C-alpha cells in the first residue's frame, strides 16, 4: 500500500520503451550494423527486416503495452541527439543559442535546429582535439528584412561568445566581417525600401547582388539625400529655342532626367536634377527656324563634370531646379559616389 501511495504522488515521469521484432537473425544483425554506421558518421540510415514494433509504458513496478505497429513500411534510425544551449550576449541582454548535440564515435556535433536562417555546424574531433565551425545562410527563410537582421546579429553574437575577446585569428575575423557587413547592408536596404515605398523580399536579395553598386547609389540619393559628382560630359544640346551664349563662354546647364529601375521585382521611378559644370561653348549651329544646337568642350585645368540629386516625383524635381541657385554650392562641391559611400561605411 505504501508503494502504491508513493507511486500516486511521485513526480518521476513515466518511461516509454520499445521492443523490436525482427524477421530473422540476419535482419537483427543488419540492424546492429546500421546502428554502428550511424554512430560513426551521424547520418540517418534505413533498415529493413523489421516485422513489428511494440511500445510499452513503465510507471515504476508496472509495464503496460500501449501500441504495437505490425505493418512496417520503412524504418530509419537516427543518431541520438539532445538539446543544449550556448549563452550569448545579444542586444544588451543574455540569451540562449539553441543547438542539437550528437555524440558519435570520433566526434561531437552541434547543429542548429532544422529551418534556421543561419544554419551552424560545430564539430569537435575527439581524436585530433580540434574544433571546426561552418555556417550556411538561407536568407529566403526570413519573412522580412527585420527577421534577417535579427538572425545575422545573433550569429555575430555567437561568434563573439565562442571566441575569447582578445582572441584574434583570420577565421574569426573573416566570419565577423561577413556578418557585420551583411547586417549593415540589410539595414541600408530596409531604409531604402521605406524611401522608395517598396517591400524587399529577403529571398531576392542575393539575386540582386550584381546590382549592389546601383542600390548603394540609390541609397545615397534617396535616403541620405546626397548630391553625387560624376565625370559625365555634355557633348551638345539640341533644339535650343532661346539661349544667349557665344563660343568660348562657360555656361551652367541644368536638366531633369526620368530614370526607371527594376529593383527586387518592383518598378521604381526617380527624377534626377543634374547640373553640368565647366562646360565651354565650342560651336553654335542655327537653322532657318531659329533653333540652335550648341556644342561643348572643356579644359584640362577645369574638366567638365556633372552633379546630380534624386527626387521621387517630377514636381519635387522641378521645385529643386527652380531653387537651384540657392544651393548651387552643394552641387558644385559634391563628392564622388565611392568617396561618399566609404564615409557612410566608416560611420556605421
Mean pLDDT, the chain, rounded, equals 87
Using the predicted structure, report yes or no on whether residue 193 has a pLDDT greater than 60: yes
Number of neighbours of residue 218 by Cβ within 10 angstroms:
21
**275 exposed, middle or buried (CB, 10 Å; 0-12, 13-18, 19+)?**
buried
What pLDDT, on a 0 to 100 scale, did the predictor assign at position 2? 39
Which one of 98-107, 125-134, 332-341 scores highest in mean pLDDT? 332-341
User: CB neighbours (10 Å) of residue 105?
Assistant: 13
Higher pLDDT, 28 or 151: 151
Nearest Cα neighbor of 52 from 68, 33, 37 is 68
What CA–CA distance (Å, rounded) separates 231 from 340? 15
Assess whether pLDDT exceeds 80 at residue 179.
yes
Q: What is the pLDDT of residue 166?
A: 65
Q: What percent of the chain has pLDDT over 70?
A: 90
101 pLDDT above the threshold of 70:
yes
What Cα–Cα distance (Å) separates residue 214 from each residue in 31, 180, 192, 208, 348? 58, 21, 12, 10, 20
pLDDT at 212: 92
What pLDDT sits at residue 237? 83
Instruction: Write down the domain spans for the chain.
Output: 13-77, 81-187, 226-346
**For position 6, what pLDDT does the model report?**
41
pTM for this predicted structure:
0.80
Q: pLDDT tens for residues 225-236?
A: 999 999 999 898
CA dist list (Å): 5 to 9, 13, 15, 129:
7, 16, 19, 51
Q: What is the pLDDT of residue 5?
A: 38
pLDDT of residue 110: 92
CB 216 within 8 Å of CB 186: no
State residue 61 phi and psi, 5-degree precision. -85, -10
Least confident of 12-26, 81-95, 259-273, 290-304: 12-26
Of 51-60, 101-110, 121-130, 172-181, which gets the smallest average pLDDT?
Answer: 51-60
336 DSSP 8-state letter: B
pLDDT at position 243 is 60
For 266-301, write each residue's pLDDT tens digit: 999 999 999 999 999 998 887 777 677 889 999 999
Report, in angstroms and rounded to the nearest whole number, the Rg of the chain calculated over CA atoms: 34
Amino acid at each position: 500500500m505504501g508503494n502504491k501511495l508513493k507511486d500516486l504522488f511521485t513526480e518521476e515521469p513515466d518511461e516509454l520503451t520499445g521492443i523490436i521484432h525482427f524477421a530473422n537473425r540476419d535482419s537483427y544483425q543488419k540492424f546492429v550494423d546500421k546502428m554502428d554506421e550511424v554512430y560513426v558518421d551521424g547520418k540517418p540510415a534505413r533498415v529493413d527486416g523489421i516485422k513489428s514494433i511494440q511500445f510499452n509504458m513503465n510507471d515504476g513496478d508496472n509495464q503496460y503495452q500501449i501500441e504495437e505497429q505490425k505493418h512496417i513500411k520503412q524504418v530509419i534510425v537516427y543518431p541520438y541527439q539532445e538539446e543544449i544551449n550556448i549563452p550569448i550576449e545579444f542586444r544588451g541582454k543574455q540569451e540562449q543559442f539553441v543547438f542539437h548535440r550528437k555524440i558519435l564515435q570520433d566526434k561531437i556535433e552541434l547543429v542548429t535546429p532544422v529551418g534556421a536562417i543561419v544554419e551552424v555546424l560545430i564539430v569537435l574531433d575527439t581524436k585530433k582535439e580540434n574544433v571546426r565551425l561552418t555556417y550556411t545562410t538561407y536568407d529566403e527563410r526570413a519573412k522580412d528584412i527585420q527577421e534577417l537582421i535579427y538572425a545575422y546579429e545573433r550569429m555575430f553574437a555567437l561568434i563573439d561568445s565562442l571566441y575569447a575577446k582578445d582572441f584574434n585569428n583570420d577565421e574569426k575575423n573573416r566570419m565577423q566581417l561577413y556578418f557585420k557587413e551583411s547586417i549593415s547592408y540589410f539595414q541600408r536596404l530596409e531604409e531604402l525600401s521605406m524611401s522608395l515605398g517598396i517591400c524587399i523580399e529577403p529571398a531576392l536579395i542575393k539575386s540582386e547582388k550584381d546590382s549592389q553598386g546601383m542600390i548603394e547609389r540609390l541609397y545615397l540619393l534617396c535616403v541620405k539625400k546626397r548630391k553625387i559628382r560624376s565625370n559625365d560630359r555634355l557633348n551638345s544640346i539640341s533644339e535650343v529655342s532661346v539661349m544667349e551664349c557665344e563660343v568660348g563662354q562657360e555656361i551652367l546647364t541644368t536638366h531633369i532626367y526620368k530614370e526607371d529601375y527594376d529593383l527586387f521585382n518592383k518598378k521604381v521611378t526617380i527624377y534626377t536634377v543634374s547640373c553640368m559644370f565647366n562646360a565651354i561653348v565650342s560651336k553654335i549651329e542655327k537653322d532657318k527656324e531659329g533653333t540652335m544646337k550648341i556644342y561643348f568642350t572643356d579644359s584640362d585645368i577645369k574638366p567638365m563634370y556633372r552633379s546630380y540629386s534624386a527626387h521621387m516625383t517630377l514636381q519635387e524635381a522641378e521645385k529643386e531646379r527652380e531653387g537651384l541657385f540657392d544651393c548651387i554650392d552643394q552641387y558644385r562641391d559634391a563628392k564622388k559616389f565611392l568617396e561618399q559611400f566609404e564615409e557612410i561605411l566608416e560611420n556605421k
